[in-house]
Amino acid sequence: MKGLWVADEATSLEQLIGYRFRRPEWLRQALTHRSHSEESSGKEPSNEQMEFLGDAILGFLVSEALLHRFPESREGFLSKLKARLVSGAHLHRVAEELELGGFLRLGKGEELSGGRSKKALLVDALEALVAAVYRDGGLTAAREFVERWILAPVDWQQVPTTDFKSELQELLQERRAPPPRYVVTREQGPEHQKTFTVEVRVGGESIAFAEGSSKKAAEQAAAQIALGRLEEISFEPGTR
């Protein structure tokens, strides 16, 4: 699959992603690196603009999917999860799964320098591919591509449904209160089986205590308790 772009290559990639292009030129451009475009004296457009568009479309579709999956979650939690799903690390894994490197149209120099395995090139090509599907088949086709290749591989069972620490920080920011501080007030048990007690303080005041098998677990539990209390009252630092 190296070198010249031929119909069999396009068909192979279309079969792999499960989408048939009505206008194959969109797919061709999505896989054309700047180095190849420059060698053709700019006669063939590179995928840079497609990558720009694909990045925006991907961000929108991932945000939309997360709102459907986590309708009760706060912005901070959703933003962190979205950042993971559109990160270079995640997109690189998807690009490798699709073996996009073998379909890239590279200039000779880029080819010789190992461009087909470069993370940045693969991520850009994947984002450009999202744009190509969008331009050819519209938002519905792009959504199906993102669901299948970007979101479906995620093990949602391993994704925490709520980040109570982030939610607490957001709530305090909304109320223009100081950020929370987490203080370990007690450690119990043997080294291999410790229990930690954590206190949440806001503006010098103690808001909640909780225990956990790790500092992080205790902090999350304390933040959850603090959230429940603060959502029932109008908290102002320095008042009780």
Question: What is the CATH code for 7-157?
Answer: 1.10.1520.10
Query: Mind telling me the catalytic residues?
Result: 55, 127
Backbone angles phi, psi at 126, to 5 degrees: -65, -45
Q: Please name the residue that has the structure tokens 């982030």.
A: 166
Strand partners, 56: none
Instruction: Please check whether the two domains, 7-157 and 164-230, share a CATH topology.
Output: no
Tens digit of pLDDT at every position of the chain (240 positions):
444 455 566 788 999 999 999 999 999 999 999 999 998 876 889 999 999 999 999 999 999 999 998 887 777 778 888 998 999 999 999 999 999 999 999 999 999 999 999 999 999 999 999 999 999 999 999 999 999 999 998 887 666 666 788 888 888 988 899 999 999 999 998 888 889 999 999 988 999 999 998 999 899 899 989 988 887 665 555 444
* Sequence ranges of the domains in the chain: 7-157, 164-230
Q: What is the pTM of this model?
A: 0.70
Right CATH for 164-230 from 3.30.360.10, 3.40.50.12280, 3.30.160.20, 3.40.50.300: 3.30.160.20
